Chains A and B, each alone.
Chain A
Amino acid sequence: MHEEYKIEMRDIAKHFGGVKALNNVSLKIKKGEIHALIGENGAGKSTLMKILSGAYQKDGGQIFVNGKEVKITSPKDSKDLRIAVIYQEFMLAPDLTVAENISIDNLANSGAFINWKWLKKIASSHLTKLGFCDIDPGVRVGTLSIAYQQIVEICKCLTRNADVIVFDEPTAVLTFTEIEKLFAIIRKLKSEGVSIIYISHRIDEIFELSDNITVLKDGGYVDTVPTSSITKEMLVSMMVGRKITQMFPERNAKIGKEILKVEKLNAGKLVQDVSFRVREGEILGFSGLVGAGRTETMRAIFGADKIDSGKVIYFGKEVRFKHPSEAIKNGFGFLSEDRKVEGLLLEQSIRMNTTLASMHKVKNKLDIINHKKEKKYVKELLRSLNTKYSSTENNVNSLSGGNQQKIALSKWISADCKCIVFDEPTRGVDVGAKTEIYKIMNNLAEQGVGIIMISSEMTEISGMCDRVIVMRQGRISGELDKELITENSLIKYAMGV
């Protein structure tokens, strides 16, 4: 419609089953601008970009490119419209060379055989243009650093003559100096008339780089504003600004003595000098951005990953769990964030899943399981969690997301844990089941269980936690008591504003 916009997405809607992922979201990108797209996890940024790239189909709305309405039904459509997306996980073939990756969709230059000379020429011309002539087009991509792999991705977009490039959190994996170089490239692309859509959680970057900002929240459109017209504080309140209703149970658990104390824990790159403690009946929140090292910290304590150094004191004794079995023997449980990949046996029965971590309760000394006793036990446990299912013998994947999560949870409750880590306990769960999961957590706390809740949802952190620790880039960047937890302060610590 308006010729001035390179891309206009108007009133885009998208549902997943009954869940509205996008509700009348609009986005207008001018030629040669850097447009930041911002919002909390689950706000709909990625979904919107996947519609633009043809990975998802929109359920409603229109897309215009250069003022003309277009239909994008596959990634090829998007490519033909000269739109390119650089995802967080690169789409590179690590065993092929830089030159091959850059021209991966045209290896033979329209001939029958791979044209190496031409491939290398194309690759080095783009690399030189970006100022990276030190990358050898003949080297295997897998041997390059992450930052250089990203450069290869950008070159890939350039060979396709993309004039719209979407960067999805490009700096999450880069060091400070690498980020500077990336920004220089993005500015150069802009000066050549390429439109950039830039997704990031890092507010500083957005203010440094972008011309305009579009804010999304809970799948809805908030506003589009020129970057120069607002402050960081204003932007944060635009992102958050949501009321807490009666989602959360009343918290009356008595906080008792210390259960777990962690001192100067180091484990890999994402866990550096982490120290904290948890007490009986306490819900301790872990907030921060995805990839801040929260899950990694808990996995190390749980014995799923290796600890490099540091002390873990559990019920007054120094421990170092070398395998999850040792943690569970000591009553330390871990509800993992991705129940489908790490939590559940989807193709097996509800019964089997519930007692997986506590088979000793239903078997005798000869290793023989008492099925009758087990059925009764599982039924009682699941009733107390208000789980809906038709038979304990049905497979877990026949249940809804919320009920699946309750099965995953029942596994740890059945194991009589005295301290449980809940990693994103309400991810992909509808609102009704959410409140029930909160209630279960609250009940556990009232029984004296120490709870660590990792969550990227700030409302649930502020609604449930007695105390919250914020992590940023592998370190603890802040700690807040219940009264001081505000979404503003959480975002500030998480992003290092």
Chain B
Amino acid sequence: MDKSKGKRLEKILINNNTYFIFLILFIACSLLSDTFFSTMNIRNIALQQSGPVLVAIGMLFVVLTGGIDLSVGSVMAIGASISAILIRDYNFHFIPAVLIALLAGMVFGTFTGMLVAYANFQGFVASLATMTIARGMAFMITNGTPIKLEYGTIDKLVKAKYFFPIIIITIMIVVLFALIQRYTAWGRTVIAIGSNSTAVRLAGIRTKRYLMSVYAVAGVLAALAGVFIAARSSTGSATVGEGQELDAIAACVIGGASLAGGKGFVVKTVAGALVLALIGNIMNLMAVPSYPQDVIKGFIIIAAVLLQIFSSKSDKTV
């Protein structure tokens, strides 16, 4: 009786290890710094992470198929630049400007997805190409200088009268995609393709369409993340999102996703993104210089992944 109870507890710990890592880190941060657990700091984290969380979710669906999308960071820059230039130079209201930016993100994602699904590119290679294309285009759009926007336009996304729209939007998208993954045939098919795409094709499912669609989703979410960053700084810059693709991949992996495909979870990926956020935040609060920060962050990613490998091994013996 006791033994089975112990085993069950062990299983719960293993299955939810991402959440426990997050919780432990959260408590440790609260103890390490007085300012960490303040409304102001928590709100800042939430605002800062709205974008990266969305990018990580987009990445997750690509990773679920067994692919990878390196272009999301650059597509963020496209989202930021296009929305900013439309507002400043073409007098767009910020809402249609943002919608057009999202459409551009979808075009980039779809393009990458077409290369992967129909031209048999590897995701890594296809997205490497679109990554440079998107970044270059973002610089062309902004002419290489950040586009400063007047207050009262896109910054409304950050702070409305009583609430923070980007936080609300992010939470809604997280919930939406968690439900999509679990309850829709689309979500299930994406996972199935990552497990064994031959079997899925032979079960009469047109795998290429699904493959293309995940990249399109990643593109839209990345563009939205870029818009969020533009909103927070009231500036559209072509340097937005540099290196963000790697953080997104790290978030998926910390959240227990397998880069081979077929395994991964939306909410855990969000927790993975927040783990990275907490690490960055606490080191800032403790005034750790930025270069050592990167080194520490790298080692923490290794530790988190080791824990995943360890737990998936013990999962198999159960």
Contact = CB atoms under 8 A, between A and B. Distances in A.
Interface in A337-372: 341-348, 352, 356-357, 359, 363, 366-369, 371
Interface string B185-201: 11011011001101111
A344 B204 contact: no
A84 B193 CA distance: 40
A325 B205 contact: yes
B88 interface: no
Contacts of B183: 368-369, 371
Given A367-B186, A369-B183, A369-B185, A345 B195 contact: yes
B199 A343 contact: yes
Contacts of B189: 359
Given A336-B202, A342-B198, A357-B203, A368 B184 contact: yes
A324 B204 contact: yes
A198 interface: no
Contact of B184 (A343, A357, A367): A367
B297 interface: no
Given A345-B262, A367-B186, A371-B183, A304 B192 contact: no
B186 A347 contact: no
Contacts of A357: 203-205
Given A324-B201, A341-B198, A342-B202, 15 more contacts: A324-B204, A325-B204, A325-B205, A325-B206, A334-B202, A345-B196, A345-B200, A346-B196, A352-B191, A356-B199, A356-B200, A356-B205, A357-B203, A368-B185, A369-B188
A336 B199 CA distance: 9
Contacts of B263: 347
A414 B203 CA distance: 11
Nearest to A323: B206
B interface majority secondary structure: helix
A348 B199 CA distance: 12
B4 to A, nearest CB: 15
A30 interface: no
* Residue of B191, B195, B206 ringed by the most chain A CB atoms within 10 A: B195
Given A367-B185, A368-B184, A371-B183, A356 B192 contact: yes
B195 A328 contact: no
A99 interface: no
A327 interface: yes
A342 B183 CA distance: 25
Interface of A: 302, 304, 323-329, 334, 336, 341-348, 352, 356-357, 359, 363, 366-369, 371, 411, 415
B184 A369 contact: yes
B191 A324 contact: no
Contact of A348 (B191, B202, B204): B191
Contacts of B204: 323-329, 357, 415
A397 to B, nearest CB: 9
Contacts of A304: 201-202
15 contacts: A302-B202, A304-B201, A323-B201, A324-B201, A325-B206, A327-B204, A328-B203, A341-B198, A342-B202, A344-B199, A348-B192, A348-B195, A363-B184, A363-B185, A367-B185
A343 B183 CA distance: 23
Given A368-B184, A369-B185, A371-B183, A345 B192 contact: yes
A326 B202 CA distance: 11
A435 B311 CA distance: 39
Interface string B71-111: 00000000000000000000000000000000000000000
Contacts of A329: 204
A279 B222 CA distance: 54
